[in-house]
Structures are given as C-alpha cells and as structure tokens.
Amino acid sequence: MLTDPIADMLTRIRNANTAMQEQTKMPVSKMKVEIAKILLQEGYIAGYKVVKAEPADLLVVELKYGEQRERVISNLKRISKPGRRVYTPKDRMPRVLGGLGTAILSTSTGICTARDAAKRGIGGEVLCFVW
C-alpha cells in the first residue's frame, strides 16, 4: 500500500507533539525539508536537520514548546490528498483560524505559505494547515 509522505510527516509531528517529545525522525525528501523550513520560519518548530543514516537519510524535526511546556503546534491538517487534490487561485487564498494559523501551498515556484503566495500573486495546491 502506498502512503502519502506528507501525511506521514504531519502524523509523526502530531504524534510526537501529543507525546511531548523533544524531536521526531522520518525519512527525508525535498518536499519534507521545504515544509520543515516553513514551519521553522513561522515559529512552529525549534529546528530541523538532515542526518546521514543507512539505508536512507533521516529528517530530524525538533519540536518547540512554551515556557510552561505548552504546545506551540495545536494541530496539523492535511488538505490536498492523493485521492482529492485541492487547488486555490491567487485571489482566493485560504485563511486558517482567521489568520492565526498558516496554510502551506505547493506552487509553480516552490513550497510557500499562503501569505507569500498572495504577495507574489500565484495560486497552487493547498498541502496543509498548521495552527
């Protein structure tokens, strides 16, 4: 059975966050690294790194918590799935929790947030929501 690598990444982060773990590991891909980069820029994670391992390299995502160990990430939701792709035009960007969350898009110029795509005037496939 083929699985969705982005859904796998989001599930691993969601599970590690629920278990209050410091980090989570997953097989690496270019798209996962780009999503991790956006999560770092938006302040949802503490960091990420690619670790050389056998048989495949690993992406290690370091989770972020508040001073009282409250979670920074409340939830992650996969929007566009292999069975049902969801696209958005440049003038109808999704808003997550009225602008408090982040929508991550795959555009013709790469992976970016909905806010960045709106500034550039491009649409794309809605990958996930983070809040």
Each residue's pLDDT tens digit, 108-131:
999 999 999 999 999 999 999 999
Q: What is the CATH number of the domain that holds 105?
A: 3.30.1490.10
* Three-class secondary structure assignment of 22-44: CEEEEECCHHHHHHHHHHHHCCC
Domain count, the chain: 2
Separation between Cα atoms, residue 79 and residue 84, nearest integer Å: 9
C-alpha gyration radius of the chain: 15
Q: At what angle do helices 5-18 and 30-41 cross, to 10 degrees?
A: 40
90-110 per-position pLDDT tens digit: 999 999 999 899 999 999 999
Identify the domain boundary among 23, 39, 63. Answer: 63
Q: Mark whether 55 and 83 lie in a shared domain.
A: no
Residue 92 lies inside a defined structural domain of this protein: yes
pLDDT in tens, 7-59: 999 999 999 999 999 999 999 999 999 999 999 999 999 999 999 999 999 99
**How far apart, in Å, are the Cα atoms of 40 and each of 83, 90, 91, 102?**
29, 24, 26, 12
The range of the structural domain enclosing residue 83 comes to 76-130
pLDDT at 99: 86
